[in-house]
Chain A
Amino acid sequence: MVAEDGLLAEMHALRDRVTGITGSALASRDGLIIKADTEINQDNLAALAATSLGLAQRMAREVGQGALREAVTRSSGGYVAIYAVGSTAVLILTGDEGLNIARLHRESRAAVDRIETMLAGASAVQTGSR
């Protein structure tokens, strides 16, 4: 399916462009995996990411800090960055301790927008709205 190949290509490209990204996954907002490029258990990752994103967005609203850009979990062994992709999906990126955070911020926005466009195109085909 063309759309899925494009998704994986986009995720691979992001991993190539940003030093330190170790893997990525794309999941639906209800916690089901759409596409994954990771060694980590995809189903667990998808479920946790959907929940995390929801909590992070609630937190941003609660403290009145505007729209959530990304939710980053930083641990002794690396990072997890979670992005909302439109209103229907979640992008999860994992990185090691050397993750180039500055470059990640620069590259992730455009990547998220491209992925959102691909998903919108795929669902338009599916619902026969063409």
Chain B
Amino acid sequence: MGTQEPADDASGPPPSLRQALKDCAAAGLSGVLEVTGEPGGTICFSGGGVVAVETPGAPSTEVILLRSGRIAEADWAAAFAAASAGGYAIGPELVIRGLIGAGELEAVLRVAVADAMFVLSGGLVEECRAEPGTVDSQFALEPPAEVGWLLAEASRRMRVLASSRALVEHDRDRMAAAPGAVQPGVLLGQGQDEILALANGRRTARDMAFALGQGVYATTLQLVRMYGAGLLVTASQRAVTLAEQAQASRPAAVPVSEPEAPSPLPRRHKGRAQHRRESDSDAGADLPSLLRLLRPRSGGE
């Protein structure tokens, strides 16, 4: 496939998932790979390439587009009705109606697929079951994403987070604003105010990603930075037995109970745009041109 993939290591995607994906790619599968576990999910294939990933652990493309405010709900509903009546998927209808550009939609899809694969890879995988057949997903990535690239990208993101000085588990740590972090009349910008408003001790990074309509990985990076800067604290941890077992089998990732000194500056990657609230511009060197098509976000709402 021509994509560099790191040697299997304990901090990457589970071997069973890795192997199942490779098998589906090699077989040229058109159908789905059902992944049971926590959070588990469904990976949709076309000719051995991944066209969609659905998981409770990461926002879908619909959630990203609607919750971020990129597409208004009324416009979405109209497009959905028209597409349903016509018997085709909503993606082309959104483009036809001028609600989003084709390039931008593809970029959002690619980011959503990579994000969902990252979440699946970081969770517990109990069983992978391939089911050939026609795929009926709301959005389909065209061209499909290569399994090798998705696995390498998931591994990279897991390494980035594992090596952060301030560790935030995206599906486990319920974050709260640190005392004094929110000051009346003071705006921090760069999406941090929205994060502080959501950080009420109940929400994990995954929960905030859904609320904001952005990727779980991008949200977790924001939380890591803010945690390292003393703006957030871990209020409680989600007690998920299965995930705990999975964590126990990996190299120790010791949660930090108190904010430490500010974390070192994030590493710069080519094409990475710092502090872009909804962007996942850390997603790989082949994406910058697509990501420039994303509508620039101004601060605030």
Contacts and interface: CB of A to CB of B under 8 A. Distances in A.
Interface of A: 13, 15-17, 19-20, 22-23, 39, 76-77, 96-100, 103
Contacts, number: 44
A74 to B, nearest CB: 13
B73 A98 contact: no
B56 A20 contact: yes
B22 interface: no
B58 A98 contact: yes
Contacts of B59: 97-98
Nearest to B63: A97
A98 B205 CA distance: 13
Interface of B: 38-40, 55-60, 62-63, 66-67, 73, 171, 200, 202, 206-207, 210-211, 238-240
Q: What secondary structure prevails in chain A residues at the interface with B?
A: loop
A62 to B, nearest CB: 29
A38 to B, nearest CB: 9
Nearest to B239: A16
Nearest to B40: A100
Contacts of B73: 76
Nearest to B36: A102
Contact of A98 (B38, B63, B202): B63
Contacts of B60: 97-98
A19 B210 contact: no
Given A16-B239, A76-B73, A97-B210, A22 B56 contact: no
Given A19-B39, A19-B171, A22-B202, A96 B239 contact: no
Contacts of A17: 240
A15 B200 CA distance: 15
A65 B158 CA distance: 48
B202 A16 contact: no
Contacts of A100: 39-40, 56
Given A39-B200, A98-B59, A19 B66 contact: no
Contacts of A15: 238
A14 B153 CA distance: 32
Contact of B56 (A13, A39, A77, A99): A99
Given A98-B56, A99-B56, 13 more contacts: A13-B239, A16-B239, A16-B240, A19-B56, A19-B206, A20-B56, A97-B60, A97-B63, A97-B210, A98-B55, A98-B57, A100-B40, A100-B56
Nearest to A104: B56
Nearest to A38: B202
A15 B240 CA distance: 10
11 contacts: A13-B239, A15-B238, A16-B239, A17-B240, A19-B171, A20-B210, A22-B207, A76-B66, A97-B60, A98-B56, A98-B63
A86 B39 CA distance: 30
Contacts of B62: 97
Contacts of A19: 38-39, 56-57, 171, 206
A96 B240 contact: no
Nearest to B57: A19
Contacts of A97: 59-60, 62-63, 210
A19 B243 CA distance: 12
Contacts of A77: 67
B161 to A, nearest CB: 19
B77 to A, nearest CB: 8
A72 to B, nearest CB: 15
A-B pairs with the 5 shortest C-beta distances? A100-B56, A19-B56, A98-B56, A16-B238, A96-B210
